[in-house]
Structure 1
Amino acid sequence: MAIQLDYLLQPLGYYCTEIGPLNQIIHLWGYTDLNERQRCRNLLKQDPRWTEYVAMIMPLIEHQESRILTPAGFFSPMAVAYRPA
């Protein structure tokens, strides 16, 4: 997450499942629009620390999916303050 925070700004949420499919991590990142998302992710992918990390964790990932979500009209998401443990 430390590397991601250098490029992806603050997360909207970071969760692990307790009911349903177990051993899942779900993280939500907020962007102004898809162009900002693409720009931030492109910068992250160019960081050698990130490519090294991804190479290390890929054997551990069984399934991964991405979703683009838009908030309901009555809801305004707010960034959370991440504090390392």
Structure 2
Amino acid sequence: MAIYELRTYSVIVGKMPEVISHYQNEGWPALAKHPKKLVGYFTGDVGALNELIHVWKFDDDADRRAFWAGVFSDPDFLAFAAKIRPLMREQNNKLMLSAPWGPQP
């Protein structure tokens, strides 16, 4: 059964343009080298200001753990993470399963 991971990062007020630049220039190129698991990136709007949101889809928990192990052993990603972490106030992760009705991503 597929597992979806919702990652929400609260960005320090005023730092979103810098975060977006780092993701465009370093973060996404580093992540794009790894298996295609991303459903989408989103930025907060009304009521969710200063949030960067990711949704990832994995085959199962083993797939999820293998993916993140690969990402966190990538020197390009680690260099990006070192730049981005000081711009974040908080990170929240949720693991979710699809409901047994309705559309599936």
How would you bin the TM-score normalised by the shorter chain? Answer: 0.7 to 0.9
TM-score (norm 2): 0.67
Q: CA deviation at 1:4?
A: 1.2
User: Secondary structure of the equivalent of 2:40?
Assistant: strand
Matched, 1:22 2:22: no
Task: Compare relative contact order (CA 8 Å, sep 6+) and give the higher one, 1 or 2.
Answer: 2
- Would you say the 8 A contact 2:38–2:56 is kept in 1? yes
Q: Summarize the alignment of residues 33-72 of structure 1 with structure 2, pairs less than 5 Å apart.
A: 33-72=60-99
Task: Count residues with an aligned counterpart.
Answer: 77
Moved over 2 A (4+): none
Percentage of identical aligned residues:
25
Q: CA deviation at 1:13?
A: 1.9
Which ranges of structure 2 fall in alignment gaps of 5 or more residues?
1-27
Which ranges of structure 1 fall in alignment gaps of 5 or more residues?
78-85
Evaluate the alpha carbon distance shift between residue 8 and residue 26 of structure 1 in structure 2; reply closer, same or farther with a 3 A threshold. Answer: farther
* In 2: Cα distance, 1:15 partner to 1:58 partner: 18
Q: Which has the larger share of strand?
A: 2
CA RMSD of aligned residues (A): 1.2
